[in-house]
Structure 1
Amino acid sequence: MLPVAGLVALAIAAQSAGMGVGDMRWQRRVLIVNAATATDPMLIAQRRALAGWRKGAVDRDVTVVEMIGDRVTGARDTAAALRRTYRLPADRFAVALVGKDGTVAFRATDPVLPDRLQGTIDAMPMRRAGGR
Structure 2
Amino acid sequence: MKKGLFIFLGSMTFALGTLGIFLPFLPTTVFYLLTGFFWLRSSDKLYQKFVQSDKYQRYVKSPIIEKKITNKGMIRMFLMIFIIFLIPGLLVDNTIMRISLAVVYICHVIGLTWYLRGKKARKFKSEKIGELD
TM-score of the pair, normalised by structure 2: 0.26
Larger % of helix: which? Answer: 2
Larger % of strand: which? Answer: 1
TM-score of the pair, normalised by structure 1: 0.26
Q: Which has the larger radius of gyration?
A: 2
